[in-house]
Structure 1
C-alpha cells in the first residue's frame, strides 16, 4: 500500500485553498457583507425602539429583515417606501374594521377576509414594488386589528405604535444599506443593460449570417424552433430585469428620474427591434424554402449589407460605449441608403412573379424598420449611460419626489384565484377560532394573512409553502432556545444585540441563495415575530409554544388553500389565461384608442404574459410551449394590427377609397380568429390579408428615379406587415387547421 508523505497533504490543501479562495471570496464576499448589514440594521432598529420605549421592537426588526431581502441599496429603499405606504394603508383599514365591527367576530372576519383577498389579488395582478405594497397592506390590517378585537379602544394606540415601529425599521434598513459599504443598483443596471444590448446584437448577427438549407427552412415554417423561442424569451426576460433594476435606481439616485423618457424609448425600441427580428427570422425561413435563386441572392445582398454594420460582440464584457457610438452614424447612413438598394433589387427582379418580389420587399422592409428601431435603441442606450451629463430641467425637489409610474400587470384570472384562496384561508382559520375559542386564534389569523399575501407573489405556492413552513419551524425552535436558555443570561444590550444579529445573519445568509430564499426569509420573519422582543420582556413558555403552534397552523391553512383550490398551473387557469391573452387582439389591437402609448402598452402586456407563462411551474396538464406560441402569435398579430391602424391614420389621404373597407375586414378577421380559432376563420383571415395586400398601392417603386418619400416608406411597412401576417397564417404554427386551440 502506498502511503502519502506526511507533509504532502497539508501542502496540497494549502495550494487548493490558495487557488480556490479568490473564487470563493468573489462569490461569497457580497453575501457576507449583506448579512452583516442585515444584522446591524436589525440591532439598530431594536435598540432605537427600546430607547424610545415603544411597545414592540420586534415589529421594527421584522421590517428590517423583509426590506433587506435584496442586496442593492436602491431596491431596499424602494421596498421600504412601499412597505411604509402599505403599512399606513393596512393600519387605516384595520382602524376602519374595528370601528365598524367591534366585538362582532363574524362580520369582522368576513370583512377582514375580503380585504386580505383584495390585497392578495392586487399583489398577484400588479408587478414590481406595487405588489409588495399591497402585500403589506394586507397583513398590516391583521397585525393592527387582531390585538384590538377584544379591546377596541386600544386600536388607535396600536396603529400609532405599529406605524412608528415600521418607520424605524424601514429607516434603519435604508440608512445602513445606503451608508455602510453600499451596493448600488446603478452599476447592476448598466451592466444588465449592456448585456441585453450585446445579446440582441449577437442574435441579429446570427440571424443575418445564418443560411438555412431548404429542408430545414421548410421545417422552420411550421413553427418557431425551440432555439429561436428560447432566444426571444431570453431577450425579453433580460429587458424586463433591466426595467426592474431601473425602478430601484429611481429611489437610489434622483438623477435617474431625469432619464425617464430615455429609458422609456430604450425599452420601447428594444421590444420593437426584437419583434422585427422575429419577423426577419420568419421571412428568411420562407425565402430559403420558396424563393427563386435570384430572389435569394437579392435577399443575401441586403442582409450582408446589414451584417457588415454590426460589431462583433462575442468578447466580454460586451459592447463598449465607443463601439455603440460608432455604430450610430453607420445605422443612419444604412437606413438612408436602404430604400434605394431595395428598389434596385426589385428592379433587377422585375421579370419574376409578384410573390417573389414581395418576399424580397418584405425582407428589405424588415431590415429597414429594424435598423430604424435599432438606431433609436443605440441612441437611447448611449443617453442612458450619461445620467450625470443630463441637464436638470426640473427642480431638485421635483426630481426627488417624482416617482415613475409602472403599468405592468399580470393575469387577471390568476390574480382572482389568488385572492379567492386568501379569502378561503382567512375564513377557514377564523371559523375554527370562533368555533373552538382557541386563545391562539388571533396569531393564526396574522400568520395566514402574512402567508397568503406572500404566496400571491410567488410562481409556485406549494413549493414556497414548504419553505415558509420549514423556516417558521426552524425560527420557532431557535426562538425557544434563545428566549428561555440564552436570553435570561444576557445582562447587557451588547450581548443581546450580538446574539440576535448572529441568528438573523444565519437566516439572511440562507436568503441570499435563490433556491432557499423563501426558507431564509421565513426563518427571519417568524423568528423576529415569535421571539417578540418587547418592552418589557415577557417570559411565558406556554404562551410561546401556543404562538408557534398558531403560526404553523396559519401557514398550513394558507398552504392548503393555495395547493388545493384551483392549482395555479392547472388546466382551467391555463385556458382562462389563454382566453384573456387572445381577447387583447380585439380589445386593444383592433378597438384600442390610437395614441402613442397603445403599441408600447400592448407589447408590455404580452411581454409580461410570456414571462409569466415561461416562469410558471411545470404541469403535465398544460402544454407550456403551446401557450408561449399562442402568446407570441397574439403579440405578432396585435402589433401588426396596431401599426397598420397608425400607418393608415398617417397617410389616409394617399390611400385608395376602398382601403378602409379592406383594412376593417382584415382587422375583424384576425380578431375573430383569435376569439374562436377555427380552420374556417383562419382561411377567412388569410383571404382578408391577401385582399388587403392586393388593394394597397406599392411602397417602394422598383423603377422610381426619385428617392422614396415618407408616404412610400409607410406603405412599404404596411406591405411588410400584411406579408408577415400572410406568412404566419400560411405556416399555421398553432395547428388551427388540424385541431382547436387548447
Structure 2
C-alpha cells in the first residue's frame, strides 16, 4: 500500500512539456543555464546561486520579468549595503547580528506588504539578499566581505540573464490584454450607467457597480506588468490610472431620492440612457474607438443640457430639476474623462489629472514584519540550542519563504505547497547529485542533466494549483544539487541540508501559528478607514475631500467588494456607508465650488459659511448635523437661494442615512 501511495503521489507531477508551455520552459532553462555559465566563468563561490535566482524569478509574462529586472538589481544592491552595515557593526556579536538580520527582514517584508508592484519587488529582494549573504558570514565573519559580494553578484547575474533571454525569445502579450480589458470595463460601465438613466438603481445594480469597481482595481496589476513590457503603457501610465479613477467615480455615484422622482419624469434623461446604451454596444462591437466614444459621450452631455433648458417646467421645482440633471451631467463628464485617459492606449493625447491612490494596509504590513522577525529568532534559537552546522541554511531558506508566504491569503496552504515541492525536490536532487553528476563530464552534459529536472518545476509554475510547489521544487533542487567550483559529493551534508529545508518551513508555519493571519482584519481595517476618513471629511469639509481623498475612498470601497466577509448583509451595509461617504464629499465640494462665485458679503454666502462651520464642529453628532442642515436649508429657501437649499436638504438626507446604517452596524457588532 505504501508503494502504491508513493506512486500516486509522484504520479501527480505535471509533465515537463506541453504545446502551450514548451517555449516558456525552454526559455527559462536557457536563462538558468546562462546564469550558471556566467557564475562559473566569474569563479563565484556559489555559481549555482545565479541559476537559483533565475528559477526563483521565472515568469511566462515578459513584462513581469523585464519590468522588475532593474528593481531586482536595486534591491540586491540595497540588501548588500545593509549586509555590510550589519557585519561592520556586529561581526563579533552573533546574537546582535542575527537580531539585526531579523529586523531588516521584518522591515522589508512589512514594506513589501504596503507598497505595490516594482517597489514591492525591491523590498523583497533587499530582504532575502541579506539572509542569503549573511548566513555563512555569521559563522565565519572573516569571509563576510567575499561572501556578500559573491551572493550579490550571483543575484545580479541571475536577474540580468533572465531579462536578456526573456527580451530576446519571448513575445509581448500584456499590452493587448490591457486594451481588451479597458474596452470591456468601459462597455460594462456604459451599460450600467445607461440602466441608471432608464430606471432607478436597486441593490442588485449597486452590487454590479461595486463588482465592476473591484475589476478596475484588479486591472492595476496588469498595468504593473505592462509598464515593463510596453513603452505605450509606461509613458501613459498616469493617464490610464487617472481614467480608472474617473471610471470608478462615475460608477460609485449614489442616487438621492429627491433626484429619482425628477429623473423618472424627464424625457431627456430617458433619451440619454438610450444613447449611452448605443455607445456601449458600439464599443463592444469595436465599431467605435475610445477617443470617438469620448466625443460621443460629450455630445450626449450637450444634448442633455439643451433639452433640459428648452423643456417646459414640470411639477418639480426648477432648481431641483437642474440640480438632478447637473449631477447626471457630472457623471457623464467623469465617464468621458475616463475614456480620455484610456484613449492614450490608442496614441491619443490625454489631459486628465486625477491620480489613482491606494489604501495602504499598514497594520497588516506590521504584522507580516513581526512574523518575519519571529521566524528569524526561532531559527536562531534552533541553531543556538542545537549547535547545528546548518544554521546558515535555515536563515537562507527563511528569507525567500517569509516574503512569499506573507503575500498569500492562506499561509498554511502556501506552506503546505512549499513543503510538497521540497519533498519532491529532495529525491530528485539525490538522484541527480549522486547518480547522474558523477557519471558525466563537461559543461554541456551538466546543463542538459540539470535542465531535465528544471523543466518539471518550471512547467509547474504555469499551473495555478501547483505554482508554489514548482517554485519550492526549483529552489530546493538547485540548492541541494549545487556545488562549489570543485565538486564535492558529501551525503551527510546533503541529508543535513534536506532536513534544514523541512525545519525552515516548519518554523515559518510555527510563526503563523503563534501570530495567525486573519483575513477579516483587512475587511475590518477597510471599514474603519472608510468611517475614519468620513469623519475627517465632515470636520474639514471640501478641504478634506480633494481628489486624492476620494480616490483612496473609492479604492477602499472597491476592495471591500473583492473580499468575502462572514455575512453578505454586513458587506452590503459597509458598502452602503462607502457610497454615502463619497456622495457627502461630492455635495460638500459642490457647495464650496458654487460658494466661490458669491460675494463674501452676500447674506446667502454668509449663511452658507455659517452652516458649513456648524457641521464641522460636531462631526460625530449626527442628530445635530442633520438639524443644522435642515435649518440652513430653510433659511436659504427664505432668501430665495433654492439651489443651495436643495443641496443642504440632500446633505441632511445623506447624514441621516449614514447615521442609520452606522448605528445598525454598531448594534449588530
Q: 2:439 aligned with 1:489, yes or no?
A: yes
Q: 2:206 aligned with 1:228, yes or no?
A: yes
Task: Tell me how far apart the structure 1 counterparts of residues 446 and 653 of structure 2 sit (CA, whole Å).
Answer: 71
Q: 2:263 aligned with 1:273, yes or no?
A: no
With over 3 angstroms needed to count, the CA separation of the structure-2 counterparts of 1:688 and 1:105, relative to structure 1, is farther
Task: Tell me how far apart the structure 2 counterparts of residues 178 and 643 of structure 1 sit (CA, whole Å).
Answer: 50
Q: 2:86 aligned with 1:86, yes or no?
A: no
Give the 3-state SS of the residue equivalent to 2:89 in structure 1: helix
The equivalences for 1:493-642 within 5 A come to 493-570=443-520, 574-587=523-536, 590-591=539-540, 594=543, 599-610=546-557, 612-615=559-562, 624-638=571-585, 640-641=587-588
Hey, what does 1:416 align to over in structure 2? 366
One of 141, 152, 168 as aligned partner of 2:141: 152
With over 3 angstroms needed to count, the CA separation of the structure-2 counterparts of 1:296 and 1:274, relative to structure 1, is closer
Deviation of 1:433 after TM superposition, in Å, equals 1.5
Kept in 2, the 8 Å contact 1:569–1:617? The answer is: no
Kept in 2, the 8 Å contact 1:78–1:129? The answer is: yes
Hey, what does 2:183 align to over in structure 1? 194
Q: 2:220 aligned with 1:243, yes or no?
A: yes
Deviation of 1:101 after TM superposition, in Å, equals 0.9
> Runs (4+) of structure 1 moved beyond 6 Å?
none
Comparing 125-134 with 732-741, which one deviates more in the overlay?
A: 732-741
Hey, what does 1:683 align to over in structure 2? 623
TM-score by length of 1: 0.78
Q: 2:200 aligned with 1:253, yes or no?
A: no
Unpaired runs of 5+ residues, structure 1, are 1-26, 213-219, 392-404, 673-680, 703-714
Task: Tell me how far apart the structure 2 counterparts of residues 365 and 720 of structure 1 sit (CA, whole Å).
Answer: 12
Deviation of 1:206 after TM superposition, in Å, equals 3.3
Kept in 1, the 8 Å contact 2:570–2:665? The answer is: no
Hey, what does 2:339 align to over in structure 1? 378
Hey, what does 2:34 align to over in structure 1? 44
With over 3 angstroms needed to count, the CA separation of the structure-2 counterparts of 1:36 and 1:725, relative to structure 1, is farther
1:684-717 Cα offsets, whole Å, 9 max, x none, are 343344445556689x999xxxxxxxxxxxx78x
One of 266, 272, 284 as aligned partner of 1:318: 284
Task: Tell me how far apart the structure 1 counterparts of residues 408 and 597 of structure 2 sit (CA, whole Å).
Answer: 44
Kept in 2, the 8 Å contact 1:146–1:442? The answer is: yes
Task: Tell me how far apart the structure 1 counterparts of residues 236 and 346 of structure 2 sit (CA, whole Å).
Answer: 10
Give the 3-state SS of the residue equivalent to 2:27 in structure 1: helix
Deviation of 1:233 after TM superposition, in Å, equals 3.6
The equivalences for 1:51-62 within 5 A come to 51-62=41-52
Give the 3-state SS of the residue equivalent to 1:526 in structure 2: helix
Deviation of 1:124 after TM superposition, in Å, equals 0.9
Deviation of 1:666 after TM superposition, in Å, equals 3.3
Kept in 2, the 8 Å contact 1:659–1:695? The answer is: no
One of 65, 68, 75 as aligned partner of 2:58: 68
Task: Tell me how far apart the structure 2 counterparts of residues 623 and 53 of structure 1 sit (CA, whole Å).
Answer: 61
Q: 2:264 aligned with 1:303, yes or no?
A: no
Deviation of 1:308 after TM superposition, in Å, equals 1.9
Task: Tell me how far apart the structure 2 counterparts of residues 473 and 619 of structure 1 sit (CA, whole Å).
Answer: 35
Give the 3-state SS of the residue equivalent to 2:34 in structure 1: helix
Give the 3-state SS of the residue equivalent to 2:407 in structure 1: coil
Task: Tell me how far apart the structure 2 counterparts of residues 390 and 608 of structure 1 sit (CA, whole Å).
Answer: 22
Give the 3-state SS of the residue equivalent to 1:311 in structure 2: helix
Q: 2:420 aligned with 1:431, yes or no?
A: no
1:136-166 Cα offsets, whole Å, 9 max, x none, are 1111111111111122232221222122211
1:46-81 Cα offsets, whole Å, 9 max, x none, are 122122322222222222123223x22122112222
Q: 2:270 aligned with 1:330, yes or no?
A: no
Hey, what does 1:173 align to over in structure 2? 162
Deviation of 1:195 after TM superposition, in Å, equals 1.9
Task: Tell me how far apart the structure 2 counterparts of residues 39 and 580 of structure 1 sit (CA, whole Å).
Answer: 46
1:461-493 Cα offsets, whole Å, 9 max, x none, are 222222122222222332222222222223232
Kept in 1, the 8 Å contact 2:223–2:237? The answer is: no
One of 723, 728, 732 as aligned partner of 2:650: 723
Give the 3-state SS of the residue equivalent to 1:348 in structure 2: coil
Task: Tell me how far apart the structure 1 counterparts of residues 651 and 577 of structure 2 sit (CA, whole Å).
Answer: 16
Deviation of 1:236 after TM superposition, in Å, equals 2.4
Q: 2:86 aligned with 1:97, yes or no?
A: yes
Hey, what does 2:426 align to over in structure 1? 476
Hey, what does 1:134 align to over in structure 2? 123
Task: Tell me how far apart the structure 2 counterparts of residues 147 and 538 of structure 1 sit (CA, whole Å).
Answer: 18
One of 158, 161, 174 as aligned partner of 1:185: 174
Hey, what does 2:393 align to over in structure 1? 443
Kept in 1, the 8 Å contact 2:68–2:228? The answer is: no
Kept in 1, the 8 Å contact 2:263–2:269? The answer is: no
With over 3 angstroms needed to count, the CA separation of the structure-2 counterparts of 1:631 and 1:460, relative to structure 1, is farther
Task: Tell me how far apart the structure 2 counterparts of residues 585 and 601 of structure 1 sit (CA, whole Å).
Answer: 14
The equivalences for 1:727-738 within 5 A come to 727=654, 729-730=656-657, 734=661, 736-737=663-664
Task: Tell me how far apart the structure 1 counterparts of residues 305 and 630 of structure 2 sit (CA, whole Å).
Answer: 24
Give the 3-state SS of the residue equivalent to 2:512 in structure 1: helix
Deviation of 1:103 after TM superposition, in Å, equals 3.0
1:298-327 Cα offsets, whole Å, 9 max, x none, are 245413324324426458x93526354443
Give the 3-state SS of the residue equivalent to 2:122 in structure 1: helix
Kept in 1, the 8 Å contact 2:625–2:655? The answer is: no
With over 3 angstroms needed to count, the CA separation of the structure-2 counterparts of 1:74 and 1:741, relative to structure 1, is same
1:615-666 Cα offsets, whole Å, 9 max, x none, are 5576689955555454445444455545655565576758611212222333
Kept in 2, the 8 Å contact 1:126–1:409? The answer is: no
Kept in 2, the 8 Å contact 1:311–1:323? The answer is: no
Kept in 2, the 8 Å contact 1:105–1:434? The answer is: no
With over 3 angstroms needed to count, the CA separation of the structure-2 counterparts of 1:85 and 1:739, relative to structure 1, is same
Kept in 1, the 8 Å contact 2:63–2:174? The answer is: yes
Task: Tell me how far apart the structure 2 counterparts of residues 613 and 694 of structure 1 sit (CA, whole Å).
Answer: 37
With over 3 angstroms needed to count, the CA separation of the structure-2 counterparts of 1:183 and 1:725, relative to structure 1, is farther
Deviation of 1:82 after TM superposition, in Å, equals 1.8
Q: How many residues align?
A: 648
